[in-house]
């Protein structure tokens, strides 16, 4: 098949959860089909990422028939998001609006007769919809509108009101895209069950999480490393991760130090915001920022902890640690997305005291920690990339097509019937980031 793969963030490099997952699916499809890939290239000019970014782009060019990488500016995207809300749209779709990417897609659409379009994330759906193709599959993974609802519940005014507004508008857009695309992928049954309308639910398919490769860590390193290390992986500019890191360092970590005063906490992840960087002022806490190889830090960890208080879908950071054989302590919202069993594959705890107690037990009992890590590793490695890609192939080819959904309330009725040449969505708010194609 000739497949157009549209993603909101190119996996160049695959250094955060959504990029790791998109990389796995992209690589799986490109091994078997002719794939053209288009998406945004974030932090392309960050000094510590520049070399790795260029290497990733080179690898992607060799794998794909064509690659269109549009430089992305978070600052300008933020302005577009605000403008989108003011204009009556969603911040999410406006954040990823791009005239440059739209023009590139238009040129490709005129030159190439695509058999299918695969859109990774609902935020990129308006751009993917502009390309003519017999089949379109949307990898939504989870309902972002629910994430905004959860953020609103934990935020103060005025941000709580802004988050609720985005949640309400984005929920309508998610319903709209569920109706428009031929099939939509969710990463867990928990997320799929949130879609209750029969016409939309029939188009939802649960595709389990997969990684492009499993981390290869030294199993003995965590036990032998002195002093004992506890770690937390994640992009440290993502608000739920920032909240988790601060809660871990301020409320949980002191309880661990009471029992293990020589212990060290590694907060490992790219782009730490000032609030996270400041945590490194404690001599027992190391904030790494971007690292060239996460395996080095995973090998040093006796325990990986993910104390997120807001979590949707599957946390790839936790899967990565489990795949490396690290015993994991997570909150309920993280565990629910994974589907792992508490006490067998990982440990679930929700209060600062309970999380700290679980970490201390694992530090005190290396054999228990090793057994838990091995069980978690077996759990993660049951997900087979070839099997997942095979299911996606059938959806892209029309093997699991669902009946066409009726018009939705609030949707543009002129666009509710699939056509060979899709109508264009209204122009999204904001100016395009200045830059050249890569």
Domain boundaries, the chain: 2-212+384-415, 221-380
Residues of the chain above pLDDT 90, percent: 66
Please enumerate in sequence order all residues whose Cβ is within 8 A of that of 182, keeping only pairs 6 or more positions apart, or say none: 135, 136, 137, 203, 395, 398, 401, 402
CATH classification for the domain delimited by 2-212+384-415, as one of 3.40.50.2000, 3.30.70.260, 3.40.50.10320, 3.20.20.70? 3.40.50.2000
What is the structure's pLDDT at 48? 54
Contact 328, 304 (CB under 8 A): yes
What is the structure's pLDDT at 19? 87
Cβ neighbours, 10 Å, residue 257: 17
**DSSP line for 123-160:** GGHHHHTTS--SEEEEEEES-HHHHHHHHHHT--TTHH
Tell me what the mean pLDDT of segment 295-314 comes to: 90
User: CA 282 to CA 297: how far, in whole Å?
Assistant: 19
pLDDT band at residue 408 using 50, 70 and 90 as cut-offs: very low
| pLDDT tens per residue across span 125-150 | 999 998 999 999 999 988 999 989 98
What average pLDDT is seen over the chain? 86
User: CA 177 to CA 170: how far, in whole Å?
Assistant: 10
What is the structure's pLDDT at 410? 32
Decide if pLDDT at 92 tops 70. yes
Tell me what the mean pLDDT of segment 232-256 comes to: 95
Decide if pLDDT at 280 tops 80. yes
Tell me what the mean pLDDT of segment 325-348 comes to: 94
Which residue in 174, 39, 178, 33 sits closest to 116, CA to CA?
Answer: 33
What region, left, alpha or beta, does residue 141 occupy, with left being phi > 0 and alpha being psi -120 to 50 degrees? Answer: left
Topology of domain 221-380, CATH: Rossmann fold (3.40.50)
Count, residues in the chain: 438
What 3-state DSSP class applies to 170? helix
What is the structure's pLDDT at 435? 34
What is the structure's pLDDT at 313? 77
Lowest-pLDDT range, 205-214, 238-247, 323-332? Answer: 205-214
Buried b (16+ CB within 10 A) or exposed e, 368-385: ebbebbebbbebbeebeb
| pLDDT tens per residue across span 47-79 | 655 777 888 899 999 999 999 999 888 889 999
Asked if domains 2-212+384-415 and 221-380 share a fold, the reply is: yes
Within 31-137, residue ranges assigned H as helices are: 47-63, 74-86, 91-95, 99-111, 125-128
């Amino acid at each position: 098949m000739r497949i157009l793969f549209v993603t909101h963030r190119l996996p160049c490099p695959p250094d955060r959860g959504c990029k790791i997952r998109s990389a796995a699916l992209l690589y799986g499809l490109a091994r078997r089909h002719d794939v053209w890939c288009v998406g945004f290239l974030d932090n392309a000019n960050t000094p510590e990422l520049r070399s790795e970014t260029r290497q990733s782009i080179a690898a992607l060019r060799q794998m794909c028939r064509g690659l269109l990488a549009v430089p992305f500016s978070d600052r300008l995207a933020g302005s577009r998001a605000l403008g989108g809300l003011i204009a009556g749209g969603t911040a999410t779709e406006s954040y990823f609006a791009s005239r440059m990417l739209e023009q590139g897609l238009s040129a490709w659409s005129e030159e190439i007769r695509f058999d299918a379009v695969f859109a990774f994330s609902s935020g990129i759906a308006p751009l993917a919809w502009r390309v003519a193709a017999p089949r379109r599959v949307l990898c939504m993974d989870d309902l972002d509108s629910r994430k905004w609802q959860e953020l609103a519940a934990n935020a103060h005014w005025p941000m709580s009101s802004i988050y609720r507004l985005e949640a309400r508008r984005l929920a309508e857009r998610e319903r709209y895209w569920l109706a428009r695309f031929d099939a939509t992928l969710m990463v867990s049954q928990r997320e799929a069950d949130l879609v209750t309308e029969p016409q939309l639910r029939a188009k939802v398919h649960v595709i389990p999480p997969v990684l492009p490769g499993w981390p290869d860590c030294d199993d003995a390193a965590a036990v032998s490393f002195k002093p004992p290390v506890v770690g937390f992986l994640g992009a440290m500019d993502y608000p739920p991760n920032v909240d988790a890191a601060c809660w871990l360092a301020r409320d949980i970590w002191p309880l661990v130090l009471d029992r293990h005063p020589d212990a060290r906490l590694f907060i490992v992840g790219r782009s730490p915001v000032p609030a996270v960087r400041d945590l490194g002022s404690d001599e027992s806490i190391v904030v790494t920022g971007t690292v060239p190889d996460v395996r080095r830090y995973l090998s040093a960890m006796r325990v990986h902890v993910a104390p997120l208080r807001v979590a949707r879908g599957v946390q790839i950071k936790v899967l990565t640690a489990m795949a490396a054989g690290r015993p994991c302590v997570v909150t309920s919202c993280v565990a629910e997305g994974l589907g792992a069993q508490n006490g067998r594959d990982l440990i679930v705890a929700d209060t600062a005291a309970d999380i700290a107690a679980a970490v201390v037990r694992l530090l005190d009992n290396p054999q228990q920690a090793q057994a838990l890590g091995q069980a978690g590793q077996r759990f993660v490695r049951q997900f087979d990339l070839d099997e997942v890609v095979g299911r996606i192939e059938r959806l892209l080819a029309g093997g699991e097509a669902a009946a066409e959904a009726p018009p939705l309330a609030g949707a543009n009725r002129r666009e509710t019937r699939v056509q060979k040449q899709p109508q264009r969505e209204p122009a999204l708010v904001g100016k395009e980031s200045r830059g050249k194609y890569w």
